[in-house]
Chains A and B, each alone.
Chain A
Amino acid sequence: MEPVTSAPVSVTINGEVYERDVDARRLLVHFIRDDLMLTGTHIGCDTGNCGACTIHYEGRAIKSCMMLAVQADGASIETIESLAEDGALHPLQQAFSEHHALQCGYCTPGMIMSAKHLLDHNPEPTEGEIRRAIQGNICRCTGYVNIVEAIAAAAKGEVSA
């Protein structure tokens, strides 16, 4: 394929197929938020440091501000909107609520997607493994203690139904 400044993109996000023409320079996070209106994924620093834009790309946590939308053509993606089912919170979301693992909530979608990536690969993490797993996510409110407790509780299934 010869280089193009705009291309058709087809991605599967949370099980639904989206097809759009996208400028090559458009970041994946802008495509998700502004073109598809899936605004649960946040933009914090826009420099790849804060992790607010964390999504799952082909089953792996990535920062969607460090990828172009055209790169995602043909890919399968999950965002924070995929977690709750029929209005019932995912155990991680429930645990974050019960443990006061957020204050302003800005980092929460990315934090939860990183936590989910951890638990998907390591269902019984140690505290150290939890802390390492959220290394790429910055929270400026909580000091992380409650976030770590919430992830540990979700891992152990210690959340209200």
Chain B
Amino acid sequence: MLLSEVAYTRPASVDDAVRLLAEHDGARPLAGGQTLINVMKARAAAPDVLVDLADLDELRSVSVGPEGGLELGPMTTCTELIRSSAVNEKRPILAEVAAQIADVQVRNRGTIGGNVCSNDPTNHFPPVLVAAGATMTIASTAGERDVPAEEFFLGVYLTACGPGELLTRIAVPPAEEGDGFASVAIGVDGTCIVNAAATVRDGHARVALGCVAAAPVLLTAAADEGAVREAVRGAGLEPPSDLHGPAEYRRRLADVVAARAVANAMGAS
């Protein structure tokens, strides 16, 4: 398909990337492109300038932070997360969830940063990072700022990382007792109809529900099935309807999927 005309640049440093994003109205970062190129085909987005992040090795690293958590470069692909020994040791839920996204080819190109910054409400990583209590670092020409994951996701396709800004780091704290993820999806590894991520500590669960609102819905409850289901049912969810399921179906799935995520988290502890 022929895309609308677009300009392209591939900066060699984060400073250059941030400068280019600030200088050009309508500039957007291009990570793995597994969402952006398709929405450009569909004319659902029409950036004037693509700032390709491919050469920014500093955005591609996975390391263990001073307190034992993970510091993830947003350009880390799903395949790299799956294979990372640091991820599998410190917070294996990230590798487990990465392996459920789409297919091999998409996982080879698609990045965790792209997944969160596109913030499609059916994406996998937004609820995982909210439940895990991650911190997102956003850079601009004005400097860097840290935003907690639960404040990062603002709406459908909308995050705290605005025009002229670039997500440069995802810091995930050390694992608690257990992490879990569950979804009902359209076929194995398909688009989620409802998903949920859970983190459990001291008998309490932090649960982030995806696909039921414009951004992940964070709830806390005692870590047992009845309490979790009651908390979800009492949350006043008003999920969207689409061709994969009406709102009522998603509402009924939500507490089931949340309870499974918590059970998975407790099983993993």
A3-B9, A4-B8, A114-B104 given; A68·B20 CB < 8 A: no
| Cβ–Cβ contact B3 & A136, under 8 A | no
Q: Which residues of A contact B108 (CB under 8 A)?
A: 57, 60-62
Q: A159 near B: Cβ within 8 Å? A: no
| Cβ–Cβ contact A5 & B103, under 8 A | no
Task: Tell me if B's interface is mostly helix, strand, loop or mixed.
Answer: mixed
Partner of A24 from B6, B33, B41, B102 at Cβ < 8 Å:
B6
| Cβ–Cβ contact B24 & A51, under 8 A | no
Bound: A135/B41 CA distance, A:
23
Residues facing B in A117-152 (CB within 8 A) are: 117-118, 132-133, 135-137
| Cβ–Cβ contact A61 & B105, under 8 A | yes
Chain B residue at minimal CB-CB distance from A51: B105
Partner of A61 from B8, B102, B104 at Cβ < 8 Å:
B104
A62-B105, A114-B105 given; A47·B8 CB < 8 A: no
Residues facing A in B61-102 (CB within 8 A) are: 79, 102
Partner of B38 from A25, A48, A57, A73 at Cβ < 8 Å:
A48
A68-B37, A71-B52 given; A48·B106 CB < 8 A: yes
Bound: A65/B1 CA distance, A:
8
A133-B104, A135-B103 given; A3·B37 CB < 8 A: no
What is the count of residue pairs linking A and B with beta-carbon distances less than 8 angstroms?
A: 100
Interface string of B14-42 (1 = CB under 8 A from A): 00000010001001001001100110010
Q: How far is the CB of B55 from chain A (nearest CB, A)?
A: 9
Q: B11 near A: Cβ within 8 Å? A: yes
Instruction: Give the interface size bracket for B toward A.
Output: 35 or more
Bound: A26/B6 CA distance, A:
10
A51-B105, A61-B104, A66-B33 given; A27·B20 CB < 8 A: no
Q: Which residues of B contact A62 (CB under 8 A)?
A: 105, 108-109
Q: How far is the CB of B20 from chain A (nearest CB, A)?
A: 7
Q: B49 near A: Cβ within 8 Å? A: yes
Residues facing A in B182-222 (CB within 8 A) are: 188-189
Bound: A135/B102 CA distance, A:
8
Partner of A4 from B2, B7, B188 at Cβ < 8 Å:
B7
Q: Which residues of A contact B229 (CB under 8 A)?
A: none
Interface string of B142-154 (1 = CB under 8 A from A): 0000000000000
A61-B105, A71-B54, A135-B188 given; A3·B34 CB < 8 A: no
| Cβ–Cβ contact A5 & B7, under 8 A | yes
> Which residues of A are interface residues toward B (Cβ below 8 A)?
1-5, 7, 23-27, 46-48, 51, 54, 57, 60-63, 65-68, 70-71, 73, 114, 117-118, 132-133, 135-137
> Which residues of B are interface residues toward A (Cβ below 8 A)?
1-11, 20, 24, 27, 30, 33-34, 37-38, 41, 49-52, 54, 79, 102-106, 108-109, 188-189
Knowing that A7-B8, A61-B104 touch, tell me 11 more A-B residue pairs with CB under 8 angstroms: A3-B50, A5-B5, A24-B8, A25-B3, A25-B6, A57-B108, A60-B108, A65-B37, A70-B8, A117-B104, A136-B102
14 A/B residue pairs, CB under 8 Å, sorted by A = A1-B10, A3-B20, A3-B51, A4-B8, A4-B9, A5-B8, A24-B7, A48-B37, A66-B33, A66-B38, A67-B109, A68-B33, A71-B52, A137-B103
